[in-house]
Structure 1
């Protein structure tokens, strides 16, 4: 419909412009902390976007 939607709260915002390549983004919460942040977990973000021409 031309709008963007937050995957978490489902709020609609912004407007899509141009074309977008097929692809996906995943995130995983890992129960390990990083140096300097001993009281937190780690969020790992993985992008899968096929090769193409911009």
Structure 2
């Protein structure tokens, strides 16, 4: 799925997803046209990252 679809499904901005990619937390493949393509597993990965960040905010 493209980054905009992933953003909509997980409720985070495309900017945040690009940041997570820069940090090595997400590794989408690039299509020939340069678009990022995220596998279905990226949804779970982003939700896991959000959960971990949320847990850290509680302390």
Same fold? TM cut 0.5: no
Q: Which has the higher contact order (CA 8 A, sep 6+)?
A: 2
Q: Which has the larger radius of gyration?
A: 1
- Which protein has the bigger helix share? 2
Q: TM-score range by the shorter chain?
A: under 0.3
Q: If the length of structure 1 is used for normalisation, what is the TM-score?
A: 0.23
Q: If the length of structure 2 is used for normalisation, what is the TM-score?
A: 0.22
